[in-house]
A and B are shown apart, each in its own frame.
Chain A
């Protein structure tokens, strides 16, 4: 399956500015299906990991209160062109997605 994670990295010297967007419904478990009236089960990303060349640079723990199609941005030091940034998430149903981007 093609990854549904979009990552943009801008290098400023050795600082990498990371902006990422993933596609995920982030259901709270409180919403009802308007057609059937049944509750839509909770379905959300629990943990999101960014690693540069295998070294974690950010771990984000999420609740259902993170908006649908989550967006996150942050910066880290010590980045250089050619580094590989890996993004990986897992959700409460055990699904996961990952992608990687080479810094330039």
Chain B
């Protein structure tokens, strides 16, 4: 067989294998409209189909009362609710309120942590989507130095 052809086949097989990995993993598309929305309730409607949530004591939202640096605000969300499908963080007064959304497959615990940016003092809301609807917990975080813009 022609050596050039053999090389070409090997190369294309390797490429196909590489291309197959991310496609298999990225089952869900990035919700561009929800993230681009400038109003918290619009972003939630875009993401969940409704902006009505039920406040729940079963959600523990960990956030500092005062964030000295708005560029790095540690957030943790934990819930004892069952059938959790996703956990999202909405920062009401950010230019784009929807900060991050965790898609939680069955078997993964609804207990997540991350660090977000906050432009100014705002309500931070954890929105938990379960098979029974939307639940939320909110907390005000005071920001002394903003993390958006410069």
Q: Which residues of A contact B (CB under 8 A)?
A: 15, 26, 28, 30-32, 34, 46-47, 49, 51, 54-68, 70-78, 86, 88, 90, 96, 98
Question: CA–CA, A68 to B70, complex, Å?
Answer: 12
Interface size class of B (residues with CB under 8 A): 35 or more
Question: CA–CA, A59 to B104, complex, Å?
Answer: 7
B96-129 vs A, Cβ < 8 Å mask (1 yes, 0 no): 1011111111011101111111100000000000
Contacting residues, chain B, for A32 (C-beta < 8 A): 149-150
* In-complex Cβ contact of A61 among B95, B100, B105 (8 A): B100
Question: CA–CA, A88 to B107, complex, Å?
Answer: 20
B21 at the interface (CB under 8 A from A): yes
Instruction: List, sorted by A's number, 10 A–B pairs whose CB atoms are closer than 8 Å.
Output: A32-B149, A56-B27, A58-B103, A58-B104, A65-B98, A65-B117, A65-B148, A74-B108, A76-B108, A86-B25
